[in-house]
Chain A
Amino acid sequence: MALVEAFRNRWLSKSKFQVEVAYARPDRQLILRCRADTSMRLKDVIESSGILRIFPEIDISTARVGVYGHLRSIEDRVSEGDRIQIYRPLQIDPKESRRRRAAARKKSS
């Protein structure tokens, strides 16, 4: 019974809730589940999730992070059910890409 109680206190206490931490590369994507509370910032959750050990290329000081497709500051607090996503930069410049597409369209028409 003591074990059950310990489990309750550790994992099911009211203040703790489940969040996800995700990182994705074309060859490997990972969504980790971990527990957090409202006092934690996105940074703390990412660090405590251990995703930085799995993907050593993540630089937490420069990477942009967000929750469900919306950019957030790394200092923001987490809330219940969040999926904290660590993003990678784009390979191409969207403006340049647009210019190129416009030129191609002009040429073809």
Chain B
Amino acid sequence: MRTNPRPPKHNLRLLHSLATRFSGRSLADRVDAILPQTQCRQCGYEGCRPYAEAVARGEADINRCPPGGETGIRRIARLMGREPIPLDPDCGQTKPKQTAWIDENACIGCTLCIQACPVDAIHGAAKQMHTVISIECTGCELCLPPCPVDCIHMQPAAETSAGLAGLLGKFRRRKSAKLFQERHQKRLQRLQAKRRQKSGRPKLDPHPSQNRAGDDPRKAAIQAAIERTRAKKSSLSGKPRA
């Protein structure tokens, strides 16, 4: 049975709650279905799914998704049985949807944006022209900072929110959110398979849901290694030369 993630109205509410309760979807699934799947990490998590899981566990507040905006917060609030609260300004501002485009006269084919894109929306390879596939672009802006020549720009995506066009837009947004989700999952799986191939042993957590930027054990390990090398270097340079 398919359930509508939209908040139910009036007497449909009971039906909706029963439907979601017996559809076999977890709370995290239902939060994830509300999130716009931009994978933009403005919430501080590695993607929409980890944030949805954190919300479902009660670890994260419900107001950390700028692309979801007021509507998204209201829907999560209703799902969680809470009062809606305003968006956390630390996470950013709600903006109309944008997509990236690449200035072809400046792109040097460095692939950094391709590595940053969470949904494989950038078409290109080393020293080949990079092009944003606009319907695949979530507008997350994660490709902007790595670009060494600043050739990626954001442009507003054509969208209307009134009347029939608005209704169609809603449908289209849900559809593209599904696409983004699928693409992101595929990418994670692919990168994980590649890592496994490289290291020769399986990595445990396919989707590091708890990994907030600060307390990632792998990042801590890297940091420790850097500190060790630094200490070694300084002790070497401190020695008198022969």
Contacts and interface: CB of A to CB of B under 8 A. Distances in A.
Interface in B121-145: 122-129, 131-136
Contacts of B7: none
Nearest to A83: B120
Q: What interface size band does chain B fall in?
A: 20 to 34
Contacts of A26: 101-102, 104, 131
Contacts of A89: 128-129
A6 to B, nearest CB: 28
Contacts of A49: none
Contacts of B85: none
Contacts of A92: 105-108
A101 interface: yes
12 contacts: A25-B131, A29-B131, A66-B128, A68-B120, A69-B111, A70-B125, A85-B125, A88-B128, A88-B131, A91-B107, A92-B105, A94-B108
A29 B101 CA distance: 12
Interface in B109-166: 109-111, 114-115, 120, 122-129, 131-136, 149
Interface of A: 22-26, 29, 31, 64, 66, 68-71, 81, 83, 85, 87-92, 94, 97-98, 101
B178 to A, nearest CB: 15
Given A26-B104, A91-B105, A94-B108, 15 more contacts: A22-B133, A29-B133, A66-B128, A69-B114, A71-B128, A81-B186, A81-B190, A85-B123, A88-B131, A89-B129, A90-B127, A90-B129, A92-B105, A97-B106, A98-B108
A92 to B, nearest CB: 6
Contact of B125 (A29, A69, A101): A69
A70 B123 CA distance: 10
Contacts of B122: 69
Contacts of A25: 131
Contacts of B110: 94
Interface in B165-194: 186, 190
Given A26-B104, A69-B111, A87 B124 contact: yes
A94 B149 CA distance: 10
Nearest to A25: B131
Given A24-B131, A29-B134, A89-B129, A97 B108 contact: yes
Contacts of B190: 68, 81
B149 A97 contact: yes
Contacts of A90: 107-109, 127-129
A104 to B, nearest CB: 11
Contact of A22 (B101, B104, B123, B126): B123
Contacts of B132: 24, 29
A90 to B, nearest CB: 5
